[in-house]
Amino acid sequence: MKPIRRSRTFDKHFKQRVSPHDKLVKQFEERLGLFLIGQHDYPLHDHRLSGKLAGRRAFSIAGDMRVIYEELNDAYVFLDIGTHSQVYGN
């Protein structure tokens, strides 16, 4: 499995949006574990993005929480985390 790098935006939004909520932190850790073993279907619902985020992917953490990431040759880069409206700008 490729290593995971986190962007500054991801780290900032994780601290603001996820860290204050123990349940979300636990769900993130569980879903990260699934991601790391290569599971992409339920419950992650990993999918390609289109439009302004074309070339990137997203997976679900819990309910409306998403991780936006990019796959590079040598790593996965987590770009953002938040609700659907926070990460997609709706």
- State yes or no: pLDDT of 1 exceeds 70: yes
Place of tokens 């935006």: 9
24 Rama class: left (phi>0) / alpha (psi -120 to 50) / beta: alpha
| CA atoms of 75 and 70, how far apart (whole Å) | 9
pLDDT in tens, 7-37: 999 999 999 999 999 999 999 999 999 999 9
Is the bond preceding residue 20 a cis peptide, omega within 30 degrees? no
Distance of CA 65 to the CA centre of its chain: 8
- State yes or no: pLDDT of 90 exceeds 80: no
Quote the pTM value.
0.94
Q: What is the CATH number of domain 4-82?
A: 3.30.2310.20
The residue ranges of every structural domain in the chain are 4-82
Confidence of residue 43 (pLDDT cuts 50, 70, 90): very high
The per-residue pLDDT for 89 is 83
